[in-house]
Structure 1
Amino acid sequence: MDQIQAMRLFARVVEAGTFTRAADSLQLPKGTVTKHVQALEARLRVKLLNRTTRRVTVTADGAAYYDRVVRLLADFDDMEASLSQARAAPRGRLRVDVGTSMARLLIIPRLAEFQARYPDIQIDLGVSDRTVDLIGDNVDCVIRGGELSEQSLVARRIGNLEFVTVAAPGYLAQYGTPQHPLDLENGHLNVIYFSPVSMRRYPLEFHRGGEVLEIGSPAQLAVNEANAYVAAIVAGRGVGQITTFQAQSHLDSGELVQLLPDWTQPLLPVYVVYPPNRHLSAKVRAFVDWAAELFVQNPHLQRSAA
């Protein structure tokens, strides 16, 4: 039995939660994964996993073993990377997931630079506003906005997003220009965002001094994808709030007009996130550092609180 391979398969089963998902993520037959884990248990003479028809849970011995295995595999990968000079020329397939507007406006337009710098890295770029499960979906890293709830993940803060309230000139010609957030509750239409996962509807939010207002209605349109949300506002469907990063080209062209500049919205932190057992991967490190460079270069992605 290849003990290192068996440990990798065991760790993947723990992270994925089932043998089937672990096997699919590794593109191996389920029987192969099962056989290696069983052989590992036989070698150690302990039960590492409790198996049910639907899910695998870790025994107390298995949890302690998993913690040691993750550190050992990370050290092993780092040693191999150093000896093979993989840091200088990282290679392999890298699966990244980013939000739709970030993919369209930042990552894809500059991706050729990354691929020219690291020609031996093949990227699978997932684009979605849904929050992916890094462990279960076998994703190497994501760029994610908002505060993080998964304490087990490693996160590097690479920027902040500032929001502005905007509307199309055609909309303002028809409905008038609001002078106060409360004006949006009477005689106006608001475009709001709703989560593609939780279905939660996010009202327009306004801050000035210690005053906080939330305007959720009247909202005839709610959108769950960032590019479509911007398109709806540009098309004159109502007043909305988008980041300066999304808005700037539309403001410059006159397609959108900024409203209520004295009222602000909370900054949205942006992180690049990756699983803890991959923190030493040369290909992940290469992408994380490159993404951080992109954010530093764009002033709309480096807003700070006044």
Structure 2
Amino acid sequence: MNKLDCMKAFISVVEQGSFTAAADKLDLSPQLISKYVSALERELSLQLLQRTTRRVSVTEVGRAYCDRARQILLELEELEQSVQDESSKPRGVLRISAPMSFSTLHLGEALASFQKQFPDVLIDIQLSDRKVDIIEEGFDLALRIGRLSSSSFIARKIAPIRLVTCASPDYLKKYGTPETPSDLSRHHYLHYSYRDSSEPLVSGSTRAFPYLKGNHYISANNGEVLANAAIAGAGIIVQPTFIVGPAIAAGKLSVILSDNEPEPLGLYALYAHRRYLSHKVRSFIDFLGNYFGDPPYWDAL
């Protein structure tokens, strides 16, 4: 008998609790299910199930075998799917969670370019700066900006995210230009207030300059709002160049404290730990990894 059929029959008996229920699940006869399990036990020289006239229970060694066999069958299914994917075009719905400001400023053209290359992939993107649960909420992957901590997910770095400290020329003319981080304690600071459980997604962090702690003149959970306030002369911001780059290039904001630039963040693609990625997910991650460049185009200040 085919060993894979025997393994499937045994796993189904363990999961369903009886030969009859397993037979219904697999659309086979109870007699054939029993033959499959008995053949597996003979080949292994082990008793995997305890049988009585009233019930079927799994032995300790049977439980261990079931767990491993289930994983083997899952990996085999993923391998077959990956081979099929390689021989076909990426297709299906690709569900993505992505941060708000980065997506509105830089992801639209990237998505359009990707879909021209892969027209059979339908993109469903949800914008949010919160830390979504990829598996529970049904996302294929999430784009996140920050410094990664240990995680059960796989992460691939897509692009570096540079942070700069800046203010409008009018503000600096009125209040003076800070020469050292300690000078910031005398200035108006525009604070990025978003937090997840471990690390701010984008700048505004007092970890960058502890002198800023408690010195917030405006707090907001959106970097574009703070950038516009800084352009209007409200104070000093620490923001990523993908937000403030155009204003710096246009002379609306001036970079200060360039010798004390905060540690860069990263744009990452996060996905659940699976041995074989679907073709649509792998294609999108590979596409983004080559799209923005290193350094990315927004850093051409």
Check whether TM > 0.5: yes
Change (3 A) 1:219 1:152: same
C-alpha change, 1:288 and 1:176, in structure 2 (3 Å) is same
CA distance in 1, matches of 2:65, 2:160: 37
Structure number with bigger Rg:
2
Q: How far is 1:289 from its partner?
A: 0.5
- What corresponds to 1:42 in structure 2? 17
- TM-aligned CA distance change 1:122 to 1:153, over 3 Å: same
How big is the shift at 1:278?
7.4
For the residues of structure 2 that align with 1:248 and 1:93, how far apart are their CA atoms?
33
Q: How far 1:184 moved relative to its partner?
A: 1.7
| Structure 2 residue aligned with 1:183 | 183
* Alpha-carbon distance, 1:78 to partner: 3.8
Which residue of structure 2 lines up, in the alignment, with residue 33 of structure 1? none
Aligned to 2:206: 203
TM-score by length of 1: 0.68
CA distance in 1, matches of 2:197, 2:78: 37
Q: Is the 8 A contact 2:160 2:296 kept in 1?
A: no
Partner of 1:192: 191
Q: How far apart are the structure 2 equivalents of 1:62 and 1:151?
A: 29
Deviations 1:185-211 (A, max 9, x none): 12x2101112254598832624xxxxx
| SS of 1:205 mapped into structure 2 | coil
Identical columns (%)? 30
Question: How far apart are residue 172 of structure 1 and its match?
Answer: 2.1
The equivalent residue for 1:82 is 83
| 1:67–1:236 Cα change, 3 Å | farther
SS at match of 2:258: coil
Partner of 2:138, secondary structure, is coil
Count of residue pairs brought into register by the alignment: 247
1:256 paired to 2:269: no
Equivalent pair of 2:191/2:220 in contact (CA under 8 Å): yes
2:93–2:123 contact (8 Å) kept in structure 1: yes
Which sections of structure 1, spanning at least 5 residues, go unmatched?
1-6, 8-36, 46-59, 207-212
How far is 1:267 from its partner?
Answer: 1.6
The correspondence for 1:227, drawn from 218, 221, 224, is: 224
Q: Which amino acid aligns with 2:83?
A: S
Going from structure 1 to structure 2, the CA distance change for 1:66 and 1:284 (only over 3 Å counts) comes to farther
1:268-299 CA distances to partner (integer Å, 9 max, x unpaired)? 13321101137421111011101111232653
The two structures, once aligned, show a CA RMSD in angstroms of: 3.5
For structure 2, list consecutive stretches of 5 or more residues without a partner in the other structure. Answer: 1-7, 22-59
Which of 216, 219, 232 is the aligned partner of 2:213?
Answer: 216
**Contact (CA 8 Å) 2:242, 2:299: kept in 1 or not?**
no
